[in-house]
Amino acid sequence: MQNGQILEVTAGEGYLVELSPGLISDAPGLAGRLSALLGLTDPSVRAVIVTDSNVGPLYAGKVEAALEATRPGASAGVITIPAGEESKTPLELVRVLEAMASLRLTRKDAVIALGGGVVGDLAGLAAALYMRGIRCLQMPTSLLAMVDSSVGGKTAVDLEAGKNLMGVFSQPVGVLIDPEVLRTLPAREISCGWGEIIKYAGLDGDVLAAVRTELGPCRSGIAPLPSVGLIARSIDVKRRIVSEDEKESGARRLLNLGHTAGHAVETASRYALSHGASVAIGMHILTKALVKEGKLPRAMLEDLEELLRQAGLPSSIPPELLARADLDFSIDALLAVASHDKKSAGSGVNLVLPIAPGRAEVRKVSWEDFRAMLETGL
Amino acid sequence: MQNGQILEVTAGEGYLVELSPGLISDAPGLAGRLSALLGLTDPSVRAVIVTDSNVGPLYAGKVEAALEATRPGASAGVITIPAGEESKTPLELVRVLEAMASLRLTRKDAVIALGGGVVGDLAGLAAALYMRGIRCLQMPTSLLAMVDSSVGGKTAVDLEAGKNLMGVFSQPVGVLIDPEVLRTLPAREISCGWGEIIKYAGLDGDVLAAVRTELGPCRSGIAPLPSVGLIARSIDVKRRIVSEDEKESGARRLLNLGHTAGHAVETASRYALSHGASVAIGMHILTKALVKEGKLPRAMLEDLEELLRQAGLPSSIPPELLARADLDFSIDALLAVASHDKKSAGSGVNLVLPIAPGRAEVRKVSWEDFRAMLETGL
């Protein structure tokens, strides 16, 4: 077992991200942390656990037991949503809110978001909306949620028109991460998380070096578990950027590296592609286009392709998806999705472009130039 | 025509409330204000008007014309919801959000909430949620929305479990009020607005004096239109309190005078009672209970009853509603609703209690004591 790490995010009122292997199985330790973070010594404060049908059976009982260990009655119950991206809807959000109301939660109570990115985003939004906002503690259980969505206060559900179009910025009161739970995560989910870690590698030279070290020995195409140190380092990149620009008016846009083309591909695949795989394809599209335009050395593209292969991620849209008659990956279809993206801004789109290994910058690109990049890079 | 008034709210990033009779009919004046408030000189910025099926046909065309007068294309269109409290639902909210997406609004664009309280609350929430928040300008057209809901940044829709349970605090970029539009407002709506004005009279001696002056000559039971000065004075009470306590952790709770019992009665009536009438009944319940307990002089109750009568508002639940078999106004039913109220806090409820003419204070009251007050005051 490795030692825990604590990182401080200064967005919102400020909060801590704690990585501690074995955290969830350590009942007294977890109880102490929950009591301190949620103020459970106040006898009128309760917490409700929001989780999904995969994670709930594994861990909700342990978290609930830890709550009850702080004080009988400190748990208000468990709300379970069906596992999967299909649950990230306004309808499911309202179901959770009605369930919170039927548990008679008050403004002093809190939500514990226990699960992957969908649970974190949806439960975070439910907490932000219930009675105009109650507190939320994030307990991410997927690699993607640990390194990305649980930190930074972005909450959302999807609209018909596009991903994450309905949401708010609302910082959690804390993030508790037990990397041990990754041992039960399916390989696809591990790869998905690597997609975001490789994104951080595109923004930070130290992460890039660590990613090379950890993926280097991997020849199987089955991604290894990242070390606790690399998870912490990834979160640290996000922490630094979010602390500087909570509401994405500047530096935070960097975190969207690979996300504009990536979201378009993800939506066009109707979520047959994981988020991490989509971001991987998105980064590859941009890098390939910039290499072909002579703006980046070919070695950067080859390096990216090698890392993606080692992490079990695709570099481009898999042939079996391209062959499906019900999916449309045409440039026009992708542009139509991208124009709905939050990053679009009238006459063009704010793209994050790689400029060197471990470095990227935000540039506003016209729709014509973005089209040309998709044509060259896909 | 009376002169305009401008008040400054310092909540959020700070914004102005402008009252100006004839504002909406003065096309060039309105265009100039919209351009300045929404930054329409930037050619990539547009505004969408959200209104309802009553207000839209009267005023949306004028506002849209003013937008287009600033710059062709500055209007992104008009989204209309069905008039009435029944529209204040998550479902209607999501319809508005999807419509905003289909108009391809970006993060730079803005919402103009043109209508009464339902439109203001719902459109304000839609703006706060769309792409994690775009700007909202409030243009209230009902007396209730002018003196209350358009100022202060409370946005919400109702859940099945209760009123305003799903929402956020999100301050508008400005509030534009044209009191001339009140001339077309039905009498019931004018009375409804007086309910909130009389509430401010319970919090502020100057408003109380002005209310007495304006309602004094009224013997018909049909409420007169309040003067622009009284509307401004009412907003000023709210402005002062909200500027001090944006998120209702302290002083802002004062604004809930009459609202705990009022919301319960309103919900129990299934909205057959207007919000203002419900607040009137709520104030009367508390005042009557305190008078019966000997904590307030009887004159305060008689004074309140006189003002409510002059404003065309009920002091208690009307007999025709009490007689309806499908409605349950029992103490148990009212307490069940009140316990869901946002103002409830575990073991009791934060009640606003009148303590003298023009003065009230917040006190936490146990559920037992609140039950007793309902029994005495109803």
Residues A193 and A267 in one domain: yes
Domain that includes residue A270, residue range: 187-377
Instruction: Evaluate the CA torsion angle B223, B228, B233, B239 in order and state its sign.
Output: positive
Residues B247 and B313 in one domain: yes
Is the CB of B166 less than 8 angstroms away from the CB of A130? yes
- Split at pLDDT 50, 70, 90, the class of A65 is very high
Question: For residues A327 and A323, what is the distance between their CA atoms, to the nearest angstrom?
Answer: 8
Q: How many distinct structural domains can be found in chain B?
A: 2
Express as a percent the part of chain A with pLDDT over 70.
98
pLDDT at A358: 96
Residues B40 and B114 in one domain: yes
What is the C-alpha end-to-end distance of chain A, expressed in Å? 42
- Judged by a CB distance cut-off of 8 A, whether residue B344 touches chain A is yes
Is the CB of B168 less than 8 angstroms away from the CB of A128? yes
Instruction: Tell whether the model's pLDDT for residue A98 goes beyond 80.
Output: yes
Instruction: Identify the residue among A45, A92, A95, A159 best suited for mutation to test binding to B, counting B beta carbons within 10 A and taking the highest.
Output: A159
Pick the range with the lowest mean pLDDT from A298-307, A346-355, B153-162, B352-361: A346-355
Question: What tokens appear for B208 in the block?
Answer: 């109380």
Q: In terms of Cα–Cα distance, which of B104, B122, B74 is closest to A159?
A: B104
**A248 Ramachandran zone, left/alpha/beta (phi>0; psi -120 to 50):** left
Q: In terms of Cα–Cα distance, which of A18, A9, A12 is closest to A239?
A: A9
Residues A192 and A339 in one domain: yes
pLDDT at B1: 38
- Split at pLDDT 50, 70, 90, the class of A345 is low
Instruction: Write the single-letter amino acid at A150.
Output: S
Residues B119 and B205 in one domain: no
Q: In terms of Cα–Cα distance, which of B160, B246, B143, B266 is closest to B195?
A: B143
* Residue-wise DSSP of A116-185: SHHHHHHHHHHHHHBTT--EEEEEE-SHHIIIIITSS-EEEEEETTEEEEEEEE---SEEEE-GGGGGGS
User: Does B57 fall in a domain?
Assistant: yes
Distances (CA, A) of B121 to B51, B156, B167, B241, B273: 11, 5, 9, 19, 19
By the 8 A CB rule, do B116 and B140 touch?
yes
User: Does B141 fall in a domain?
Assistant: yes
Rg over CA atoms, chain B: 20
Residues B201 and B73 in one domain: no
pLDDT at A234: 97
Residues A264 and A340 in one domain: yes
pLDDT at A1: 38
- Split at pLDDT 50, 70, 90, the class of A131 is very high
Question: For residues A61 and A47, what is the distance between their CA atoms, to the nearest angstrom?
Answer: 14
- When the pLDDT of each residue in chain A is averaged and rounded to a whole number, the result is 94
- Please tell me whether the interface predicted TM-score (ipTM) of this complex is above 0.90: yes
User: Does B189 fall in a domain?
Assistant: no
Instruction: Identify the residue among B106, B122, B343 best suited for mutation to test binding to A, counting A beta carbons within 10 A and taking the highest.
Output: B106
Which CATH number belongs to the domain containing residue B223 in this structure? 1.20.1090.10
User: Does B301 fall in a domain?
Assistant: yes
Nearest CB among A93, A107, A160 relative to B98 is that of A160
Intervals of chain B under pLDDT 70: 1-3, 342-346
Which CATH number belongs to the domain containing residue A51 in this structure? 3.40.50.1970
- Three-state SS at B177: strand
pLDDT at B116: 96
Instruction: Tell whether the model's pLDDT for residue A166 goes beyond 60.
Output: yes
Residues of A (121-180) whose Cβ lies below 8 Å from B: 128-133, 154, 156, 159-162, 164-169
According to DSSP, residue B3 is labeled P
Contacting residues for B39 by C-beta, under 8 A, at least 6 apart: B45
Question: Average of pLDDT values for A7-19?
Answer: 91
Nearest C-alpha in A relative to B338: A104
Residues B152 and B242 in one domain: no
pLDDT at A317: 97
HSE-up of A374 (CA within 13 Å, CB side)? 24
Q: In terms of Cα–Cα distance, which of B264, B266, B220, B216 is closest to B373?
A: B264
Question: For residues B364 and A184, what is the distance between their CA atoms, to the nearest angstrom?
Answer: 48
- Three-state SS at A213: helix
User: Does B9 fall in a domain?
Assistant: yes
Residues constituting chain A: 378
Among residues A132, A160, A183, A219, which one is catalytic? Answer: A132
Instruction: Tell whether the model's pLDDT for residue A3 goes beyond 70.
Output: no
> In terms of DSSP H, where are the helices of chain A?
27-38, 55, 61-70, 90-102, 117-129, 143-144, 187-201, 205-215, 228-244, 259-268, 275-292, 298-310, 319-322, 331-340, 367-377
Distance of CA A241 to the CA centre of its chain: 15
By the 8 A CB rule, do A313 and A195 touch?
yes
Q: Which residues pair with A351 in a beta bridge?
A: A363
Question: Average of pLDDT values for A170-186?
Answer: 96
Nearest CB among A102, A132, A161 relative to B101 is that of A161
User: Does B21 fall in a domain?
Assistant: yes
User: Does B210 fall in a domain?
Assistant: yes
Q: In terms of Cα–Cα distance, which of B164, B169, B174 is closest to B259?
A: B164
Total beta-carbon pairs less than 8 A apart between chain A and chain B: 108
Residues B148 and B273 in one domain: no
Residues A222 and A337 in one domain: yes
Residues A38 and A86 in one domain: yes
